[in-house]
A and B are shown apart, each in its own frame.
Chain A
Amino acid sequence: QVQLVQSGAEVKMPGASVKISCKASGYTFTSTSIHWVRQAPGQRLEWMAWINTGNGDTRYSQNLQGRLTVTRDKYARIAYMELSNLRSDDGAVYYCARQDFFDIWGQGTVVTVSS
């Protein structure tokens, strides 16, 4: 069964960093890309970043560039998203999704930013 399983909820202080994992199973990890998307409460989906799981190439949202890093461990079949210098408006549900038309999504990781 094709699935993406994300790491659990996080609570962080403003200024801290968060790193979320997305473990793939049921398909050839390096054959398709992974995207990261977030959704703040009551807001639309916001695309964040893309990683080519084969060669590691990345693309980022201009709004987040400088604070956002996506990586992958192709042997462990895991993609990672790290967001630094967290602000209160970074509180959201963070998703990983497969392929450029997002056919499979992770279950989401809730990130709360609070002092």
Chain B
Amino acid sequence: EVVLTQSPATLSLSPGERATLSCRASQSVSTYVAWYQQKPGQSPRLLIFDASNRATGIPARFSGSGSGTDFTLTISSLEPEDFAVYYCQQRTNWPPITFGQGTRLDIK
């Protein structure tokens, strides 16, 4: 089973700042990584699939990069609505599909 480790656990930033979230896989997952945003009481929302492809309707300030074992989600300039929990997910050699433990992005 591929274990995904996200860092940091919590990130405290101000609106307008740049956010960089990391996801590391325990073995290579090629580019089969997706990123999701989840707000309290809501379902997760797909942001990025296959490491770097923005999902439909996702603003350009969200970008993803990486391959193999190291992946990054970058939010170029934080908007108030971006403060949420972010999860990475991998779908190579499944089952199982696995998720990271999440990074909480808090307003500083």
Q: Give chain A interface residues in 39-82, CB to chain B under 8 Å.
A: 44-47, 50, 59-62
> Contact between B99 and A102 (Cβ–Cβ < 8 Å)?
no
Chain B's interface: helix, strand, loop or mixed, by majority?
Answer: loop
Most-contacted residue by chain A among B55, B97, B99 (CB, 10 A): B97
> Contact size class for A?
20 to 34
- CA–CA, A35 to B44, complex, Å? 14
Residue A106, interface by CB 8 Å? yes
Q: Give chain B interface residues in 52-107, CB to chain A under 8 Å.
A: 55-56, 87, 89, 91, 94-102
- CA–CA, A49 to B98, complex, Å? 12
> Contact between A47 and B43 (Cβ–Cβ < 8 Å)?
no
Q: Give chain A interface residues in 90-115, CB to chain B under 8 Å.
A: 95, 100-108
Q: Which residue of B lies closest to A107 (CB)?
A: B43
The 7 A-B residue pairs whose C-beta atoms are closest, nearest first, are A101-B49, A105-B43, A47-B97, A45-B99, A101-B34, A44-B101, A59-B95
Chain B residues near A (Cβ < 8 Å):
34, 36, 43-46, 49-50, 55-56, 87, 89, 91, 94-102
Additional A-B contacts beyond A44-B99, A50-B97, A61-B95 (9; CB < 8 A): A47-B96, A47-B98, A95-B44, A100-B97, A102-B46, A102-B89, A103-B56, A104-B46, A106-B43
Chain A residues near B (Cβ < 8 Å):
35, 44-47, 50, 59-62, 95, 100-108
